Amino acid sequence: MRRLLAVVCAGAVGFAGGCGSAQDATTPGSTSGEITVFAAASLKQTFTELGDLLKAENPGASVTFSFAGSSDLVAQLTQGAPADVFASADTANMTKLTDAGLAAEAPVDFATNTLTIVTAPGNPKGITSFADLAEAGTQLVVCAPQVPCGAATKKVEVATETDLSPVSEESSVTDVLNKVTSGQADAGVVYVTDAAVAGDKVTAVSFPEAAKAVNTYPIVRLRGSKNAALATTFVGLVSGPKGRDVLLKAGFQAP
């Protein structure tokens, strides 16, 4: 009888996490194998750290990350790209994924992020406000409107009645940051976490209107996951106390 129960539980893993509870699924050492995680570009540093923690706590486990703009990732997933977990930089792109029937369960909000301005070190253009980004002669780079950081920038633009004229709109927030750090732009609008990662390569200029466009980050196990147990473990790690500590240290805020 015990052997039969073990077989039934093992067969149920792909459907509902097996016969154990959600708490069992996040117990260190309880899972192994491989998973692929599609995650917003702004999560690269924190998720890489959490991936290392996942492997340390679960011998035999490995994780591969694909970081890009959330909208690009959703497009890839809806076109059939294989993955086990998706983490978005906003709820809008997560809604697209769930509406497509790709989520295995309800997404979990695990962090929030806020915009800031980044300039070349020392802020040579003297930018002190969001409105200054519209000044003639300022080479501004922002995220494209379909990307979460771009949608948030547009919200601030509308709320402040500021008419921005960026020289380019990028497909991810890291692309915006790279344009500024490489000297191809005078300023860019990114998340506070990206400015923190850049360190002294940029000067960050905060602006109060950023509070009008705070982005919430959700994460979910995907219906097509081939390793539901490990995917559930990673989601639990990200949304749990250890994940929260890593995210807060990087500048994210609680959801």
Q: What is the pLDDT of residues 67-102, one digit of tens each?
A: 999 999 999 999 999 999 999 999 999 999 999 999
Q: Which residues are annotated as a binding site?
A: 42, 70, 173, 191
Per the CB < 8 A criterion, the answer to whether 72 and 89 are in contact is: no
**Paired tokens of 101:** 């029937």
Residues 99 and 136 both lie in one domain: no
Q: Which residues are annotated as a binding site for molybdate?
A: 42, 70, 173, 191
**Paired tokens of 49:** 């750290």
Q: Is residue 153 part of a domain?
A: yes
pLDDT category at 30 given cuts 50, 70, 90 is low
Q: Is residue 194 part of a domain?
A: yes
- Split into its structural domains, the chain has a count of 2
Residues 121 and 100 both lie in one domain: no
Note down the domain range covering 150.
115-212
| Residue 104, domain CATH | 3.40.190.10
Residues 104 and 133 both lie in one domain: no
For residues 73 and 87, what is the distance between their CA atoms, to the nearest angstrom? 9
Q: Is 33 helix (H, G, I), strand (E, B) or coil?
A: strand
Tell me which H or E stretch contains 113. strand 108-113
For 122: left if phi > 0, alpha if psi spans -120 to 50, otherwise beta; the answer is: left
**Paired tokens of 248:** 């807060």
Q: Is residue 76 part of a domain?
A: yes
For residues 223 and 232, what is the distance between their CA atoms, to the nearest angstrom? 11
Q: Is residue 228 part of a domain?
A: yes
Residues 208 and 240 both lie in one domain: no
Residues 131 and 191 both lie in one domain: yes
For residues 228 and 110, what is the distance between their CA atoms, to the nearest angstrom? 19
For residues 57 and 28, what is the distance between their CA atoms, to the nearest angstrom? 5
Residues 124 and 161 both lie in one domain: yes
Interval 194-231: pLDDT, tens: 999 999 999 999 999 999 999 999 999 999 999 999 99
Residues 207 and 224 both lie in one domain: no
Strands of the sheet with 187-191, listed across from one edge: 168-170, 140-143, 187-191, 115-119, 203-205
For residues 170 and 123, what is the distance between their CA atoms, to the nearest angstrom? 22
Residues 230 and 154 both lie in one domain: no
Residues 71 and 191 both lie in one domain: no
